[in-house]
Amino acid sequence: MTQDTISCELHDFVEVACMYGYRLRLILKNDQVIEGKAIDIVNSPKKRECLVIEGDSMQHIELTQLIRMQVLTPNAKFSEVDFQ
């Protein structure tokens, strides 16, 4: 069974990353690493919350698939969030 949501505290970190347009490195549960600028949080057609990240292209990453979010932007409000 997969988790359908993340905690409010973790969600707040993702919202801050989008609000400031932080450049991120995301580590996903499938060991994929994605880098890009945090743009927004949207709902997918399957009603799952996704982080929109702009790198070489726009990608939608389900929040429940995140293991770690590292902030690459200098002087950010935080540097790393562990989602496990």
Query: Each residue of 18-56: pLDDT tens digit?
Result: 999 999 999 999 999 999 999 999 998 888 999 999 998
Residue 4 pLDDT class (50, 70, 90 cuts)? confident
HSE value, Cβ hemisphere, 13 Å, CA-based, for 9: 4
- The pTM (predicted TM-score) of the whole model is 0.91
Non-local (6+) Cβ contacts of 75 within 8 A are none
Domains and CATH numbers, the chain: 8-82 (2.30.30.720)
Q: To which H or E segment does residue 20 belong? A: helix 8-20
